[in-house]
Chain A
Amino acid sequence: DARVTQTPRHKVTEMGQEVTMRCQPILGHNTVFWYRQTMMQGLELLAYFRNRAPLDDSGMPKDRFSAEMPDATLATLKIQPSEPRDSAVYFCASGLATTDTQYFGPGTRLTVL
């Protein structure tokens, strides 16, 4: 049963610390998305990749957030330095194409104190 995995599932950190979230997309999926769930914005797209190349990261605060795909089996989302307003659930999703069905991971719940 192929599924998207994310680590860690929960992260509590202090303001100013670096946070790295990892995602393993479903094998064979060439499109990876990062989302943030907040009360105000709902599900907010941060960035997405196709064949490991970033297609759009306009939803991401550039000064502190970065997203990469070091290889086809790993996507990372990094926040440095973290701030309390970054507290949210971060979801990764993968798909066969940018307009195809997306399969979501379980999410990383981040709390920045």
Chain B
Amino acid sequence: ILNVEQSPQSLHVQEGDSTNFTCSFPSSNFYALHWYRWETAKSPEALFVMTLNGDEKKKGRISATLNTKEGYSYLYIKGSQPEDSATYLCAFYPPIGYSTLTFGKGTMLLVSP
């Protein structure tokens, strides 16, 4: 069983604040890391697919970085808005044959107006 940790578990910020979360994963046998956004009562939606050490991806106010050597990825949200309130999940993909993909438990973000 792979250990994929996300921190913090939950976060409450005010509208306009910038925030960031961490996903930690095994640094050996890395293949890919995904970030998903999961709104309450909906299905997870993909944000980013990251495969290379040093990768930086951006979508609007949300961006992510990847460090495969030390086994972490950061997700940043600049100027949080209430509609950013959701649980943010990371999913770690080892090479096929080593183990199966594993989701972290997520960071629950609440943005207050």
| Cβ contact within 8 Å between A102 and B105 | no
B101 on the A face (CB < 8 A): yes
| Cβ contact within 8 Å between B96 and A98 | yes
Partner of B46, one of A101, A106, A107: A101
Contact residues in B for A35 (Cβ distance below 8 Å): 103
Look across to chain A and name the residue whose beta carbon is closest to the beta carbon of B47: A101
A93 to chain B, nearest CB (A): 8
In angstroms, Cα B110 to Cα A48, docked, is 32
A31 to chain B, nearest CB (A): 11
In angstroms, Cα B100 to Cα A59, docked, is 9
Partner of B43, one of A42, A58, A99, A107: A107
| Cβ contact within 8 Å between B44 and A43 | yes
A45 on the B face (CB < 8 A): yes
Look across to chain A and name the residue whose beta carbon is closest to the beta carbon of B6: A42
| Cβ contact within 8 Å between A42 and B103 | yes
In angstroms, Cα B101 to Cα A55, docked, is 11
| Cβ contact within 8 Å between B43 and A91 | yes
Residues of chain B touching chain A, judged by Cβ–Cβ distance below 8 Å, are 31-32, 34, 36, 42-46, 49, 51, 89, 93, 96, 100-106
Residues of chain A touching chain B, judged by Cβ–Cβ distance below 8 Å, are 35, 41-45, 48, 55-56, 58-59, 91, 93, 98-107
